Amino acid sequence: MKKVFAAMLLCAVLFPGLSCRKTVKEDTAAGTLMFKFESNPKEVSKISRELPDTNEFLITVSDESGGTVFDGVYKDLPETMDVDPGSYRIFVRSEDFSGLKFSAPQYGDEQCVVVPPAGTMTVELGCRQINSGIRLDISPDFLTEYPEGVLFIKAGGSRLMYSYSETRIAYFSPGTVSLVLYDDGEETVLLTRTLVSQEILTLKVSVASGGVEASSRGITISLDTSRVWTNESYVIGSGDSGGVSVDAAMTVSEAMDNIGMDDVWVSGFIVGGDLTSANASFDPPFKSASNLLLGPRSSVSSRESCIAVQLPSGDVRDALNLSANPEMLGRLVCLKGDIESSYYGLVGLKNVSDFVLK
């Protein structure tokens, strides 16, 4: 190998259309791409909300010529991906988004990385809001002055009516957004702002003198501080409350970092069973009813990426063991138990007392 790349080359973040610079391939030995989401992100937010499950995110991996290497759901992404050395663009998002929509925050990340010849590049993906939003707070005096008036939000060639009783946030792709008043057959642009990803702008619209920005017939628009939404990986229940309930269940990677915690919920995909101290089976038929492997994605095929689950006799074993229930392979499940340092050579979940299938 003639060149060694010690770190990921981050070309751009959060903006669709990012392009990767072509690199000269002096060595054509195949490299490997691996993916994971950030494990312990910091929160910078005025609003707390539950983020979507990153396993259901859409992910597109394309090479430096624009060819598609993978385009699908994150949980179906291979654990390792053998690729030619060179630059790759990775775009992961909670949903495809365009236009102007209410209650449609889009989360994800976009990166450009370089895979060295015969080397492995691990891509750590973020989970942050990648679109922008605007919300209006319309005062009663505005309704009195403009009883027939209609307010619109315009962004990216789309427009959305904002009724006087509306409280939701309207989301749009980062860029210019305008507040427009239509009244008495005339359309007036009251205000235009340019927002970046993660920004949520609240506008208080009223009719009063001495306001921050006077527009039409005494309309006053005052700007509240823009907000940055939560910037974090998806973990069901991050922070101090992790694992206390099904809705706050730890991920597999979090469980690995919380050995010794008892009676907590852990969420993951049933990916295999028939454990021994050195091996595991990922394909049916399965023989053992007493254990299974819980992975971070349904496509995982490496035991080192999983935690081992001991199935006690009773309802939990009867419902989940792969020997009697092969249809459970690939299912997302939340399990309540004790996280221990070793079970068949892996971090283990023992004394499982309850489960919920997702």
Tell me whether residue 92 is exposed, middle or buried, using C-beta atoms within 10 angstroms of its C-beta: 0 to 12, 13 to 18, 19 or more.
buried
The ranges of the chain annotated as CATH 2.40.50.140 are 239-357
CA distance 326 to 288: 11
The pLDDT score that the predictor gives to residue 43 is 39
For residue 19, give every residue at least 6 positions away whose Cβ sits within 8 Å of its Cβ, in sequence order, or none.
11, 89, 112
Report how far apart, in Å, the C-alpha atoms of 336 and of each of 165, 215, 239, 248, 255 are: 43, 58, 18, 11, 12
224 versus 265: the higher-pLDDT residue is 265
Compute the radius of gyration of the chain from its Cα atoms: 25
DSSP conformation class of 14: S
Query: Per DSSP, what are the bridge partners of residue 33?
Result: 81, 121
**What is the mean predicted confidence (pLDDT) over 88-110?**
93
Q: Which CATH number fits domain 239-357: 3.40.50.20, 3.40.50.1240, 2.40.50.140, 3.30.1780.10?
A: 2.40.50.140
User: What would be the CATH architecture of the domain defined by 132-228?
Assistant: Sandwich (2.60)
Check whether 303 has a pLDDT greater than 60: yes
**What fold characterizes domain 31-129?**
Immunoglobulin-like (2.60.40)
Domain with CATH 2.60.40 in the chain: 31-129, 132-228
Cβ atoms of 166 and 136 within 8 Å: the answer is yes
What is residue 184's predicted lDDT score, i.e. its pLDDT? Answer: 86
pLDDT digits (tens, 9 = 90+) for 31-55: 899 888 775 444 333 333 456 788 8
pLDDT of 353 strictly over 80: yes
- pLDDT, tens digit, 9 for 90 and up, residues 332-349: 999 999 999 999 999 999
Residues 18, 89 contacting (CB under 8 angstroms): yes
pLDDT of 72 > 50? The answer is yes
Read off the amino acid at residue 45: S
CA 187 to the chain's CA centroid: 39
pLDDT greater than 80 at residue 7:
no
pLDDT of residue 230: 27
Does the pLDDT value for residue 271 go beyond 90?
yes
* pLDDT at residue 165 in the model: 86
CA gap 41, 234 in Å, rounded: 9
pTM, two decimals, is 0.59
Look-up of token digits 């006690």? 312
Which uninterrupted H or E stretch holds 145? helix 140-145
pLDDT value of position 210: 41
pLDDT in tens, 305-315: 899 999 999 99
CB count, 10 Å around CB of 172? 24
Q: Which residue has the higher pLDDT, 320 or 254?
A: 320
